[in-house]
Amino acid sequence: MATDHQIPVSKQQQPGSSAFKLIIYEQENFQGHCHELTGPCNDLQEAGVEKVGSILVLCGPWVGYEQASCKGEQYVFEKGEYPRWDSWTNSRRSDTIVAFRPIKVDSQEHKIVLYENPSFAGKKIEIIDDDVPSFHAHGYQEKVSSVRVQSGTWVGYQYPGYRGFQYLFEKGEYKDSTEFGAQIPQIQSVRRIRDMQWHQRGAFHPIN
For residue 194, what pLDDT is reported? 79
Q: Distance between alpha carbon 201 and the CA centroid of its chain, in Å?
A: 16
Give 150-206 pLDDT, tens digit per residue.
999 999 999 999 999 999 999 999 999 999 999 999 999 999 997 654 444 444 444
User: What mean pLDDT comes out for the span 139-153?
Assistant: 95
Ranges 9-13, 110-114, 167-171, 177-181: which has the least confidence: 9-13
Whether the Cβ atoms of residue 48 and residue 36 lie closer than 8 Å to each other: no
For residue 55, what pLDDT is reported? 96
Distance (Å) of CA 137 to CA 43, 56, 59, 124, 160: 40, 34, 34, 14, 10
Query: What is the model's pTM?
Result: 0.83
Give 52-101 pLDDT, tens digit per residue.
999 999 998 999 999 999 999 999 999 999 999 989 988 777 778 999 99
For residue 77, what pLDDT is reported? 95
How many residues would you count in the chain? 208
Whether the Cβ atoms of residue 159 and residue 122 lie closer than 8 Å to each other: no
For residue 208, what pLDDT is reported? 40
For residue 35, what pLDDT is reported? 96
Q: Which DSSP string do the residues of 97-162 spell out, in sequence order?
A: --EEEE-----S--EEEEEEEGGGEEEEEEEES--BS-TGGGT--S---EEEEEES-EEEEEETTT
Assign 107 a pLDDT band (cuts: 50, 70, 90).
confident
**63 burial via Cβ count (<10 Å: 0-12, 13-18, 19+):** buried
For residue 9, what pLDDT is reported? 34
Question: Who contacts 32 (Cβ-Cβ below 8 Å, separation ≥6)?
Answer: 25, 26, 53
Half-sphere exposure of 37 (CA within 13 A, CB side): 27
With vertex at residue 22, the alpha carbon angle to CA 150 and CA 188, rounded to the nearest 5 degrees, is 40
For residue 205, what pLDDT is reported? 46
Whether the Cβ atoms of residue 132 and residue 112 lie closer than 8 Å to each other: no
* β partners of residue 82: 55
Whether the Cβ atoms of residue 142 and residue 187 lie closer than 8 Å to each other: no
Residue 31: is its pLDDT beyond 90?
Answer: yes
